[in-house]
Chains A and B, each alone.
Chain A
Amino acid sequence: MTDQSTNKDPSLLRSALVAAGVLALFGMIGVGLVASIASGTAKRIAENERLATLRNLHELIDEDTYDNDIFTDVTNVADLQLLGSRDPLPVYRARREGGPVALVMTAIAPDGYNGRIKLLIGIDYSGTVRGVRVLDHHETPGLGDGIELEKSNWILGFVDKSLTSPVKAKWAVRKDGGIFDQFTGATITPRAVVKAVRHALEYYELRRDQLFTVNPEIAK
């Protein structure tokens, strides 16, 4: 009995080692394949992302109103109260001949019907909204998703609004005495978006000069 078990042990160890070796080999081949494709596509993916971001930004800010590289002129800000996020969100800054023109802020409406609604808000240097777009949301299709421009023009209602026009009390949906429409069967979603846009404007008003002057960082 003892003989048998001592005889068996080395072969068991050997077979375990061979199995581990084969597994490691496949692991390395897999890593090699993925790494080579990753490095081969990295440039193209980065360019895709840059173009996608620029396309979003140009919906809100006219391409010929500024002359800096808006994609890299970025600062990151976080504000739980006004921007709805503890994590830093990118602010893209448009300038002309060095002077401030406008910026595009990212803000989060934390109280959508189905969680967070991520917004991109273009704001003029003077504090007037150039436009708002929804980047990401989980609102009910057919009810709350009217905030998407593909579904309805509701989001265009923010253009040319500012903290003074309308006055603060009117920054609400009609049901709450404001000037913004709600949707049939969905009040929570537009209410959350209106509030988030107003908060972003308030943040802008508080920090305007700081937002334009701090050095560029890498977009988070």
Chain B
Amino acid sequence: MSDVSHSQIVRDGLWVNNPAFVQLLGLCPTLAVTSTVVNAIGLGLATTLTLASSNAMVSLVRNQVRNEIRIPVFVLIIASIVTAIELLMNAFFHDLYNVLGIFIPLIVTNCAIIGRAEAFASKTTVDRAALDGLMMGFGFTAALVMLGSMREILGTGTLFDNAELLFGSGAAGLTVTFNPDYGGFLLALLPPGAFIGLGLLIAGKNLIDARITARARLAPKTGAAEAA
């Protein structure tokens, strides 16, 4: 495990082993908060911060913690980090904190986090663990943002609505309204829309993956044909 290259870690987190699209971990926040892009970015970044710091901490103590109590120790580490992040968000991003509500403390229960701690961080060096946390977090955030943009554009016809919650009052102008008379598409905003949207995105990713494999299989053949 510890000899995984850094570029492999980056590729795994962002694409090959994306927590939301491939591991399908952390579905509850993925589906619940992605009705707008700003919510998606906010929760994505909070999760990324948690993943990176909990991975680093777990890797740091991996040789001091005996096997039988590793899971409770990981849980303690993750719970402390999430509580700290929750307090900091309440202090510095109060409005966003109110919007995301229960989903911030619920980061604790995001299986992606304990999953990475147990499956990766506890068996590798601190730099790899931290990088893995960061990349898994970015992969998760990217998935949330894609689903969020899709649902926000379809559901309310806007993009970056409420941007000031995240980026301060100066960002209020960031909001893009595509059609002021757009009546909205309710399904996209409701939970079924979230499931359908996620399903389409996963299908899209699998389609791209299949194309890549097909091309890779074709390439040597054409190479051989040219040679002949």
The 8 A CB mask of A7-28 against B (1 = contact, 0 = none) is 0000000010011001100110
Whether A219 sits at the interface, judged by CB under 8 Å, is no
Contact yes or no, B91 A44, CB < 8 A: yes
Quick check: is B220 within 8 A (CB to CB) of the other chain? no
* Chain B, Cβ-Cβ closest to A16: B68
Please state if B76 and A34 are interface contacts (CB–CB under 8 Å): no
Q: A44-B92, A140-B186 are in contact. List 8 more A-B contacts (CB 8 A).
A: A19-B69, A22-B64, A26-B73, A26-B77, A41-B91, A44-B91, A48-B90, A48-B94
Complex contact B189–A141 (CB within 8 A): yes
**CB-CB contacts of B26-58 with A at 8 A, as 1s and 0s?**
000000000100000000000000000000000
SS of B interface (majority): helix
User: In this assembly, does A30 line the interface, its C-beta being within 8 Å of a C-beta of chain B?
Assistant: yes
Q: How far is the CB of A141 from chain B (nearest CB, A)?
A: 5
Q: Decide if the interface of chain A is mainly helix, strand, loop or mixed.
A: helix
Binding site for B on A (CB under 8 A): 15, 18-19, 22-23, 26-27, 29-31, 33-34, 37-38, 41, 44-45, 48-49, 52, 140-143
Residues of B within 8 A of A (CB): 35, 61, 64-66, 68-69, 72-73, 76-77, 79-80, 83-84, 87-88, 90-92, 94-95, 98, 155, 184, 186, 189-190
B107 to chain A, nearest CB (A): 14
| A23/B73 contact (C-beta < 8 A), A48-B94, A142-B184, A143-B186 known | yes
Whole-angstrom distance from the CB of B182 to the nearest CB of chain A? 12
Inter-chain contact B87/A23, CB cutoff 8 Å: no
Closest to B68 in A: A19
A49 to chain B, nearest CB (A): 8
- Of all chain B residues, the one with the shortest Cβ separation from A48 is B94
Question: In whole angstroms, what is the CA distance A142 to B79 when docked?
Answer: 36
Q: How far, in Å, is A19 (CB) from chain B's closest CB?
A: 5
The 9 closest A-B pairs by CB, nearest first: A30-B80, A41-B91, A48-B94, A142-B186, A44-B91, A141-B189, A37-B84, A26-B76, A34-B83
List chain A residues, Cβ under 8 A from B65. Answer: 22, 26
Report which of B69, B80, B87, B94 forms a contact with A22, defined as CB distance below 8 A.
B69
Of the A-B pairs whose beta carbons lie under 8 Å apart in the complex, a sample of 10, sorted by A's number, is A15-B66, A19-B66, A27-B76, A30-B77, A34-B83, A38-B87, A41-B88, A41-B91, A140-B186, A142-B184
